[in-house]
Structures are given as structure tokens and as C-alpha cells.
């Protein structure tokens, strides 16, 4: 239970002080006291920030992350269904990105004199539009 002031938290977490204040406004973290005007934190804030960072890389919004976390301390509530859903989403997104990457590589390698001369490329163009169209329905 060390006390840290905002500059230390910023250093150790990699989050800018302005971000820490912003997170406080959003209810994601809480300072527990002041030294003069300066916010002081309990070192458990670093755990919370770790959770936030994790949530962010997992693609959750700050609002969602706020909901997972208990108002104080290091504990939090993760719904297993939410986790599976998000994992699915990430897996799908990962596959989509990998597919697109392969596509870009094909375009780079393709020796047709003009890209439009490559039938595979023309099909890809159509698919790109169709993917848009169907995602609306």
C-alpha cells in the first residue's frame, strides 16, 4: 500500500497525467487524497490500470471496462459469456485481417500488366463492395 503521486503513476503505467485525470472523471480509477493539489494514489491503481490496458487491447470500450470493475480496489467482475463473445469477435477480426493481408500480398506479387487485368483482383473488388452491402442488412 504505497502512496504514489500522479507523476509516479504516469511514469509507471505509461499513461499521461491528463489521461489519468480523464479516467478519474470517467470513474475508472480513483485518487485517494491530495498532497496540496496533487492527486495521490494507492499502488492498487496500477493493477486497475493494468486491467484497463488489458481491456483496451481486448477491444472493450472504456464504458465496458468501467462496468467490469468494482468501484474500488483491485477486484472486478468478468462475465464469462462476455469474454467468450469478445474472444470470438477477436478471432473473426484476426481472420479477416489475415485474409486481407494475403490479398495485399497477392496484389503486390501479381504480374498482370495492370491490376485491372487480373481476374482475381477484379473479383476482389466486387467482393469488397458486396461485403459492405451485406453488412447493412
Partner DNA sequence: GTTTGACCTAAAGCTGACTTCAAGTTGCAC
Partner DNA sequence: GTGCAACTTGAAGTCAGCTTTAGGTCAAAC
Residues lying near DNA in the complex (CB under 7 A): 5-7, 10, 16-19, 21-22, 31, 35-39, 56, 61-63
The 10 Å Cβ neighbour count of residue 22 is: 14
Cell 509507471 locates to 12
The residue among 126 and 132 lying less far from DNA, judged by its C-beta, is 132
Residue 69 has what DSSP assignment?
Answer: B
DSSP letter string, 74-133: S-B---HHHHHHHHHHHHHHHHHHHHHHHHHHHHHH--SSSGGG-HHHHHHHHHHHHHHH
Residues of this chain, 42-71, that bind a copy of itself according to CB under 8 A:
46-47, 49-51, 53-54, 57-59
The only residue of 15, 23, 41, 65 in contact with a copy of itself, by rule CB under 8 A: 15
Residue 18 in the binding site for a copy of itself (CB under 8 A): no
Residue 112 in the binding site for a copy of itself (CB under 8 A): no
CA-CA distance, 15 to 22, in Å (whole number)? 11
The residue among 35 and 100 lying less far from a copy of itself, judged by its C-beta, is 100
Q: Name the residue among 64, 48, 61, 57 with its Cα closest to residue 13.
A: 48
**Residues near a copy of itself (CB under 8 A):** 12-15, 46-47, 49-51, 53-54, 57-59, 74-76, 78, 80, 83-84, 86-88, 90-91, 93-98, 100-105, 107-108, 114-116, 124-126, 128-129, 131-133, 135-136
Amino acid at each position: 500500500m504505497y502512496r504514489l503521486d500522479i507523476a509516479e503513476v504516469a511514469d509507471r503505467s505509461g499513461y499521461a497525467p491528463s489521461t489519468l485525470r480523464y479516467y478519474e472523471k470517467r470513474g475508472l480509477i480513483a485518487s485517494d487524497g491530495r498532497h496540496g493539489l496533487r492527486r495521490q494514489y494507492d499502488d492498487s491503481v496500477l493493477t486497475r490500470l493494468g486491467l484497463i490496458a488489458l481491456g483496451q487491447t481486448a477491444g472493450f470500450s472504456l464504458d465496458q471496462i468501467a462496468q467490469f470493475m468494482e468501484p474500488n480496489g483491485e477486484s472486478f467482475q468478468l462475465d464469462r459469456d462476455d469474454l467468450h463473445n469478445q474472444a470470438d469477435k477477436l478471432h473473426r477480426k484476426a481472420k479477416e485481417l489475415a485474409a486481407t493481408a494475403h490479398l495485399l500480398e497477392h496484389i503486390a506479387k501479381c504480374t498482370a500488366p495492370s491490376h485491372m487485368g487480373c481476374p482475381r483482383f477484379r473479383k476482389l473488388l466486387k467482393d469488397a463492395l458486396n461485403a459492405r452491402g451485406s453488412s447493412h442488412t
